[in-house]
């Protein structure tokens, strides 16, 4: 399998003007919907580490195609936000299918290591501010350049989440409450922006000086930029370090300061809270989608079965945020 893939990558790079050899091709653990490989590409005068991201080629309501993901990252790069350098893009059935190659960004993406390893202690100090800056840059791009990105107005997105939740016929009073509560909130205070959609540890490459790159753009959309802010601040993405509101490593104040240093937008923590409720609920519905893909027999797996009992984690976070002064 990997030998065949090695040849395919060499052929594809040759077609894109780079003649050389692929070696050390290894699969990396990644998302369920895509494969990720790392390899070394050696040409006449240099040798570099690269990443292959490859999707199934099927259109999914949750994720954009890999080829689209690559184009979006290329365009975002001009905003100054740290994103990987795209080397080549493959689409359709030819070449590598729906896939792209990018330069490997040295660093760590595993949340627990970033939060606990000593070598990241200086990075952790700056990371909340840097994440705020990066998000503000992403949110600043000119939307005219992003026609192909799906538009997801937040009211429609909430409706879609509600229908998804309802389709599983597993009534959850806390979810009903949160949906109803969100219906009453005002979402009109922000202009549409490019939204990463899954901005959190796991999708950020971190090196010893902090944020090196924002990766995994498959949930990108055009919508309310507060979605990214709230998502980064939910307890589900603090990996047990719940006293640090931003990703388990930083304070909300630094994160928002980083954001406004670029965007000049002032964000009230009370507004963030609304989006923490929304983000927690969104993660809860994603957990339901995963467990029902197991229960309905599409993808049988222990991990997917187990995630069903993590829905109550989102429920306890919701009641904490809504009634008990949770942050």
Partner 1 sequence: MIFDRPTSAELVEAVSEFLEKEIKTTLPNHLAFKTQIAINVLNIVKREQENKELLTKESKEILLTLLSNQEEANINQLAEQIASGKLDLEDKKLQKALIEITKKKISVDNPKYSTYKKLIK
Beta-carbon neighbour count of residue 181 at 10 Å?
A: 16
User: What's the closest the beta carbon of residue 293 comes to partner 1, in angstroms?
Assistant: 16
Cα-based distances in Å from 195 to 17, 25, 140, 163, 235:
33, 32, 10, 22, 20
136/172 with CB nearer partner 1: 172
Considering the complex, state which of residue 143 and residue 319 has its C-beta at the smaller distance from partner 1.
319
Q: Which is nearer to partner 1, 31 or 326 (CB)?
A: 326
Instruction: Considering the complex, state which of residue 54 and residue 304 has its C-beta at the smaller distance from partner 1.
Output: 304
| Binding footprint of partner 1 on the chain (CB under 8 A) | 29, 171-177, 179-181, 184, 235, 238, 240, 242, 302-303, 305-306, 309-310, 312-313, 315-317, 319-320, 322-324, 326
Minimum separation from the CB atom of position 316 to partner 1 (A)? 5
Q: What is the C-alpha to C-alpha distance for residues 301 and 295, in angstroms, rounded to an integer?
A: 9
Closest CB 235 distance from partner 1, rounded Å:
6
Please state the closest distance from residue 313 (CB atom) to partner 1, in A. 5
Name the residue among 76, 84, 85 with its Cα closest to residue 220. Answer: 76
Q: Which is nearer to partner 1, 26 or 302 (CB)?
A: 302
Minimum CB separation of residue 243 from partner 1 in Å reads 9
DSSP-based three-state secondary structure for 14? helix
Nearest approach, Cβ of residue 182 and partner 1 (Å): 11
Nearer to partner 1, 134 or 321 (CB): 321
Residue nearer to partner 1 on the CB measure, 222 or 322: 322
- Give least dist CB 259 to partner 1, A: 25
- The 3-class SS string of 41-89 reads EEECCCEEEEEEEEECCCCCCCCCCHHHHHHHHHHHHCCCCCCCCEEEE
Residue 142 beta carbon to partner 1: minimum distance, rounded to whole angstroms: 40
CB of 181 to partner 1, least distance (A): 6
Alpha-carbon gap, residue 239 to 254, rounded angstroms: 19
Do 158 and 278 touch, CB atoms closer than 8 A?
yes
Please state, in angstroms and rounded to a whole number, the distance separating the CA atoms of residues 105 and 116.
21
Q: Which is nearer to partner 1, 14 or 28 (by Cβ)?
A: 28
> Residues 136, 138, 142, 145: what is their CA dihedral angle, to the nearest 10 degrees?
180
Q: Please, which residue, 122 or 306, has the CB nearer to partner 1?
A: 306
The residues, any chain, with a CB within 8 Å of residue 83's CB and separated by 6 or more, are 73, 76, 77, 213, 214, 215
**Pairing relationship of beta strands 20-28 and 193-195 according to DSSP bridges:** unpaired
Residues 6+ apart with CB under 8 A from 12: 88, 90, 95, 96, 101
């Amino acid at each position: 399998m990997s030998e065949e893939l090695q040849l395919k990558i060499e052929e594809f790079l040759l077609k894109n003007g780079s003649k050389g050899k692929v070696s050390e091709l290894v699969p990396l653990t990644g998302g369920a919907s895509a494969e990720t490989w790392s390899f070394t590409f050696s040409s006449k005068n240099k040798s570099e580490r690269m990443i292959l991201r490859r999707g199934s080629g099927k259109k999914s309501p949750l994720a954009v195609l890999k080829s689209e993901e690559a184009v979006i990252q290329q365009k975002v790069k001009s905003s100054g936000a740290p994103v990987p350098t795209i080397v080549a893009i493959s689409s359709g059935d030819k070449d590598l299918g729906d896939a792209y190659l990018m330069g490997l960004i040295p660093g760590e993406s595993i949340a627990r290591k970033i939060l606990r390893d000593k070598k990241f202690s200086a990075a952790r100090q700056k990371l909340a501010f840097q994440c705020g800056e990066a998000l503000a840059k992403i949110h600043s791009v000119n939307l005219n350049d992003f026609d192909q990105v799906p538009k997801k107005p937040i009211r429609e997105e909430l409706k879609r989440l509600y229908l998804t939740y309802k389709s599983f016929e597993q009534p959850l009073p806390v979810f009903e409450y949160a949906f109803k509560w969100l219906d009453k909130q005002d979402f009109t205070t922000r202009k549409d922006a490019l939204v990463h959609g899954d901005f959190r540890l796991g999708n950020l490459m971190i090196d010893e000086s902090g944020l090196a790159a924002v990766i995994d753009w498959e949930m990108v959309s055009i919508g309310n930029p507060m979605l990214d802010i709230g998502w980064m601040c939910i307890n589900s993405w603090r990996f047990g370090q719940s006293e640090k509101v931003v990703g388990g490593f930083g304070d909300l104040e630094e994160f928002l300061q980083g954001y406004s240093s670029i965007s000049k937008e002032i964000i009230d923590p009370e507004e963030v809270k609304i989006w923490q409720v929304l983000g927690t609920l969104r993660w809860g519905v994603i957990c339901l989608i995963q467990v029902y893909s197991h229960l309905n027999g599409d993808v049988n797996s222990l991990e997917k079965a187990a995630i069903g009992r993590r829905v109550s984690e989102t429920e306890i976070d919701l009641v904490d945020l809504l009634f008990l002064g949770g942050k």
